[in-house]
Amino acid sequence: TCDKGAVKCVEDRNCVSKGPCDSFPCRNGGICSLQGSTFSCQCPNDYQGSTCEELKPKPCDSQPCLNGGICTNVGSSFSCECSKGFKGDTCADAECVDKKLDILYVVDGSGSIRDANFENIKLELKEMNGKFAIGPDKIQIALMQFGRTTDTKMEFKLGEKTSLQAVNEGVDNMKWLSSLKTATLDALKKAREQVFNGEGGDRSTAANVLILFTDGVATDANEVDQIQEAQKLKDAGVKVITVAMGSKNFIESYRSTLQKLASVDDETGQPLQFEAGFDNLNDLTSKLVKGAC
């Protein structure tokens, strides 16, 4: 018989000491190898750990596909099948390619914006343009800049620019007004009377969207008057999206007003009001495109 602890008997009946691998420490099909007085396990592809007891995390376990995208494990990587309206490796980028929209950008050109920040606004407009299928039978873009009532101007009208390149050139050509006032009420009224009026480039077969970019409180009206004018737009079928720009502390002074001006998102029940600093307006691109589309 073998002494305690010596459990292996060979043909010549000599007993040898029990080795580290003799207790089969490697789980789930792992292969045990002696390493001096201890052992190591070579684990199969799906397992890890000192004894192969842990399942390896799969790429899809971290839920990398956003906005309802469906994840599929592909070897050590993954692929996303994006839901309608999104694209990109992780479905993070909104796009709007199958809608017929008439969109008006209403941009604050008041002096408080500052020239460098105004250029950031233009960059964001062009970033958004790239997500829209711009064309005479698809999405049309118009651009208004406002300041004082006498300064407010149409940079270009609906139907005037019929390609992405032309729309972006129109944005590039917009010069900062550096106006002394922020006549938000007047801008909303002119949008209703001069743009979304069923005439010119305003198509009866397209949904209307107004996106307002501003950095402060209106100087031409109180909150009630602005809300009433925005309601007239909404009653006429215009979706109103508002964007507050600047520091968080200052945005607090007019956030509530912009929330009341904005239309309500059908999915979330929340106002289509967004906010960002001038240096990170591009963080809003997908949200604004999704909101518009």
CATH number, domain containing residue 184 = 3.40.50.410
> Which domain CATH number covers 29?
2.10.25.10
**Parent domain of 46:** 21-56
Residue where a domain terminates, one of 94, 110, 143: 94
Residues 66 and 207 placed together within one structural domain of the fold: no
pLDDT, position 96: 83
CA angle at residue 213 from 211 to 216, to 5 degrees? 140
pLDDT of residue 67: 82
Does any domain span residue 44? Answer: yes
Domain identity same for 193 and 141:
yes
Question: Which of 242, 233, 251, 252 shows the shortest CA–CA distance to 272?
Answer: 242
Say if residue 77 is in the same domain as residue 198. Answer: no
Number of separate domains in the chain:
3
Pairing of strands 101-108, 207-214: parallel
Q: What is the pLDDT of residues 185-212, one digit of tens each?
A: 999 999 999 999 999 899 999 999 999 9
pLDDT for residue 8: 53
Q: Are 215 and 275 contacting, i.e. CB atoms less than 8 angstroms apart?
A: no
Q: Please check whether residues 78 and 156 belong to one and the same domain.
A: no
Take residue 150 and report the two structure tokens written for it: 């006498």
Same domain, 140 and 283: yes
- pLDDT tens, position by position, 74-106: 888 889 988 877 888 888 777 788 899 999 999
- Looking at the fold, whether 217 and 282 belong to one and the same domain comes out as yes
Residues 25 and 73 in one domain: no
120 and 239 fall within a common domain: yes
**Is 1 among the domain residues?**
no
Shared domain for 104 and 90, answered yes or no, is no
Sites in the chain below the pLDDT cut of 70: 1-17
